[in-house]
Amino acid sequence: MLLPENMVRLQIISDKSAVDPIVTKLLKLGMFQPEDPLYPLSNERIEDARRLITAVQDHVSKLKIIMELGGLVIEPLGSIKVVNWIKAAQMSVKKRRN
């Protein structure tokens, strides 16, 4: 059962040809309720995001400087190599249930 306090709104942006396979795989997880987007993706929204990214990048740069001064590790060692995102999501759901 999907309860409002456990739900997160997520926007998936993909090529139109991939929408059906993506939604089908998400529905198989049993924790997905599709709904139409509240606002269509438009050039205006893309430009707004481009304007905001500069400020975000500035903040990230400042945080990196603060972390370096504090002697904290900036980049984690290793990398995440996910071959199958569906299996990775299913494992994550199983871990949360336990």
pLDDT digits (tens, 9 = 90+) for 56-88: 899 989 988 988 888 877 666 666 676 777 777
Read off the pLDDT of residues 10-62 as tens digits, 9 standing for 90 and up: 777 778 788 888 878 888 877 777 777 777 767 777 788 888 888 889 998 99
Domain boundaries, the chain: 4-97
Inter-residue contact 26 to 32 (CB < 8 Å):
yes
pTM: 0.35
Inter-residue contact 93 to 31 (CB < 8 Å):
yes
Q: What is the DSSP letter of 6?
A: G
